[in-house]
């Protein structure tokens, strides 16, 4: 049963009749371009096959009711809330995500008259695979549908506008200072492609990335570890980048080129230099990766993934022992390239692996984690899949 089918069935069971629509949105893997989004730079994500579905029916009393089928396979109901009374800080916890989206849509001028939502998620949580954005994007589309403003309907905002509304929910309601990577990936990716997205211009280009067709697999290693300082660490890095741009008199670090680094870095306080070096070189690595993919040379992106990991580990300093173990082990066992992905301080790594070598790489990673006495990681092959859409 897909998450959309389950959401529809649970909705009918809970409310006694059918939902008016079901929308779903995927989690993502970012192939390369990490911590570049809030620096106005480039990213290259693709969508996971794992999706979060939201079955919806409009209400006329202004209330939002939310129930979710959790990974514990039980239904969790949140108290009904008046959309007109939503404000940042209330509710908190998990319910802040759907409520934050309703708030952002209200603030954005979309007349959401109330809705019943049934949420079923299959994106692994806490794994750096954007389960929260899958939830927020599917919720945004479902709620827009109740206002006649979902994609394909006359009053629909563009995907870029929806991504910004979801970002607002995440930044101003849930209080996470994240960029535009995750919601853009969830909304706009297409099957067998990676999305080359320029955050400054808002322009996206679908780059063919049929990894399986090329005999390669992108293996995801979810370390199942998230270190407690991940949120503070993210915010500190972001503020450091913004401060560096300001000191250099640039709008964003996007405006610094690699050729300028030798002259620009000495102008900065020592602690900001590695941050700038990471962002500037990472943007170049995205462009180089796109060039290789356009030429169909998928295997050639391996060294770029490795360089990205080294930069995130040594300059941006957001890797973890578990991520490094996953990356080093995968490479030693035959991966063509490997790196941590997402916000950092835990979560997942990816390894680009020839399909024939995948079982050996998987086993090597499992063995290495067992030898280090760590929880067994969750491993799966990520096939570039479709972005958000209406299921029924
Ligand atoms: C998290 C954030 C994104 C992005 C990545 C790092 O996933 O939500 O906006 O900054 O980290 O690339």
| Mean local confidence (pLDDT), 282-304 | 98
**Ligand 1 pocket member 34 (CB < 6 A):** yes
Residues 251 and 182 in one domain: no
DSSP 185: H
Domain boundary among the residues 150, 173, 206 is at: 206
For residue 389, being part of any structural domain is answered with no
99-to-46, 137, 177 alpha-carbon distances in Å = 27, 12, 17
Say if residue 139 is in the same domain as residue 267. no
Q: Is residue 219 in a domain?
A: yes
Q: Whose CA is nearest to atom 1 of ligand 1?
A: 343
> Residues 87, 112, 158, 130: is their CA dihedral positive or negative?
positive
| End-to-end CA gap in the chain | 14
Are 259 and 155 within one domain? no
Question: Cα–Cα distances in Å, from 367 out to 95, 127, 326, 331, 336?
Answer: 38, 20, 11, 14, 19
Mean pLDDT on 177-194: 97
**Same domain, yes or no: 225 and 315:** yes
Same domain, yes or no: 41 and 158: yes
Q: Which of 37, 11, 34, 36 is nearest to 22 (CA)?
A: 11
Cβ of residue 181 lying under 6 Å from some atom of ligand 1:
yes
β-pairing verdict for 115-121 and 63-69: parallel
30, 341 Cβ separation under 8 angstroms? yes
Residues 163 and 252 in one domain: no
The domain boundary, picked from 206, 240, 272, lies at 206
For residue 74, being part of any structural domain is answered with yes
Q: Compute, in angstroms, the gap from residue 243 CA to the centroid of ligand 1.
A: 18
Separation CA 304–CA 338 (nearest Å):
9
- Neighbouring C-beta atoms of residue 229, cutoff 10 Å: 12
364-374 residue pLDDT tens: 999 999 999 99
Q: Are 50 and 194 members of one domain? A: yes
Domain boundary, last residue among 186, 206, 226: 206
Span 110-149, pLDDT tens digits:
989 999 999 999 999 999 999 999 999 999 999 999 999 9
With beta carbons less than 8 A apart as the criterion, state whether 162 and 50 touch: no
Examine the domain organization and report whether 30 and 149 are in the same domain.
yes
**Active-site residue, from 182, 222, 357, 391:** 182
Residue in 127, 128, 222, 204 with CA at minimum distance from that of residue 160:
204
Residues 220 and 81 in one domain: no
* Residue 18 confidence (pLDDT): 98
Query: Based on the domain organization, do 345 and 369 belong to the same domain?
Result: yes
Give how many domains the chain has, as a whole number: 2
pTM exceeds 0.85: yes
Inside any domain, residue 159 = yes
Are 184 and 303 in the same domain?
A: no
Helix 131-146 / helix 181-188 crossing angle, nearest 10 deg: 60
75 part of a folded domain:
yes
Instruction: Please work out whether the CB of residue 167 comes within 6 Å of at least one atom of ligand 1.
Output: no
Report the residue among 44, 125, 182, 318 best suited for mutation to probe ligand 1: largest number of ligand atoms under 8 A from its CB: 182
Per-residue model confidence (pLDDT) at position 230: 79
- Non-local (6+) Cβ contacts of 179 within 8 A are 37, 38, 167, 199
Q: 169: which DSSP letter? A: I
Concerning whether 182 is annotated as a catalytic residue, the answer is yes
Look up the CATH number of the domain holding residue 284: 3.30.70.890
Residue 238 Cβ inside 6 Å of ligand 1? The answer reads no
309 part of a folded domain: yes
221 with 258, same domain: the answer is: yes
CB contact at 8 A, 239 and 271: no
Given a cut of 80, whether residue 389 has pLDDT beyond it is: yes
Rounded-to-integer distance, Cα 337 and Cα 349, Å = 11
CA atoms within 13 A on the CB side of 261: 16
CATH number at residue 157: 3.30.230.10
Domain that holds residue 321: 210-382
Distance (Å) from CA 50 to ligand 1 centroid? 18
Residue 387 falls inside a structural domain? no
Question: Is residue 392 a part of any domain in this protein?
Answer: no
Strand ranges of the sheet holding 346-354, from the earlier edge strand across to the other edge: 337-340, 346-354, 216-226, 378-381
Question: Quick one: what percent of the chain has pLDDT higher than 70?
Answer: 100
Q: Is 371 exposed, middle or buried (0-12, 13-18, 19+ CB in 10 A)?
A: exposed
Which class for 233: exposed (0-12), middle (13-18), buried (19 or more C-beta within 10 A)? middle
Q: Is the CB of 38 under 6 A from ligand 1?
A: yes
pLDDT 10s digits, 313-339:
999 999 999 999 999 999 999 999 999
Q: Which two tokens stand for residue 218?
A: 């992108």
């Amino acid at each position: 049963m897909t998450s959309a089918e389950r959401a529809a069935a649970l909705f009918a069971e809970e409310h006694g009749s059918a939902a008016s629509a079901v929308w779903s949105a995927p989690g993502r893997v970012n192939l390369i371009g990490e911590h570049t989004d809030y620096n106005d730079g480039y990213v290259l994500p693709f969508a996971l096959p794992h999706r979060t579905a939201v079955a919806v029916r409009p209400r006329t009393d202004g209330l939002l009711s939310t129930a979710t089928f959790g990974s514990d396979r039980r239904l969790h109901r949140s108290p009904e809330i008046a959309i007109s009374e939503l404000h940042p800080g209330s509710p908190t916890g998990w319910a802040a995500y759907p409520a934050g989206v309703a708030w952002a849509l209200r603030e954005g001028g979309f007349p959401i008259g109330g809705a019943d939502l049934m949420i079923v998620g299959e994106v692994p949580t806490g794994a750096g695979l954007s389960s929260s954005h899958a939830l927020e994007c599917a919720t945004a589309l479902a709620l827009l549908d109740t206002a006649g403003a979902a994609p394909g309907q006359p009053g629909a905002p563009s995907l870029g506008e929806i991504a910004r509304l979801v970002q607002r929910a995440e930044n101003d309601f849930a209080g996470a200072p994240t960029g535009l990577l995750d919601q853009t990936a969830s909304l706009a990716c297409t099957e067998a492609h990676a999305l080359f997205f320029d955050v400054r211009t808002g322009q996206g280009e679908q780059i063919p990335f049929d990894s399986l067709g090329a005999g390669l697999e992108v293996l995801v290693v979810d370390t199942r570890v998230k270190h407690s300082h991940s949120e503070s660490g993210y915010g500190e890095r972001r503020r450091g980048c913004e401060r560096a741009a300001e000191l250099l008199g640039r709008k964003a670090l996007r405006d610094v080129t690699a050729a300028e680094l030798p002259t620009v870095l000495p102008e900065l306080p020592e602690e900001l230099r590695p941050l700038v070096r990471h962002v500037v070189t990472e943007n170049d690595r995205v462009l180089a990766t796109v060039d290789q993919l356009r030429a169909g040379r998928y295997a050639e992106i391996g060294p770029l993934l490795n360089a990205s990991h080294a930069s995130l580990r040594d300059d941006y300093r957001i890797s973890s022992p578990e991520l490094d173990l996953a990356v080093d082990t995968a490479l030693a066992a035959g991966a063509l390239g490997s790196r941590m992905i997402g916000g950092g301080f835990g979560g997942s790594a990816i390894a680009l692996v020839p399909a024939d070598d995948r079982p050996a790489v998987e086993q090597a990673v499992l063995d290495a984690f067992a030898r280090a006495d760590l929880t067994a990681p969750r491993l799966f092959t990520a096939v570039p899949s479709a972005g958000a859409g209406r299921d029924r």
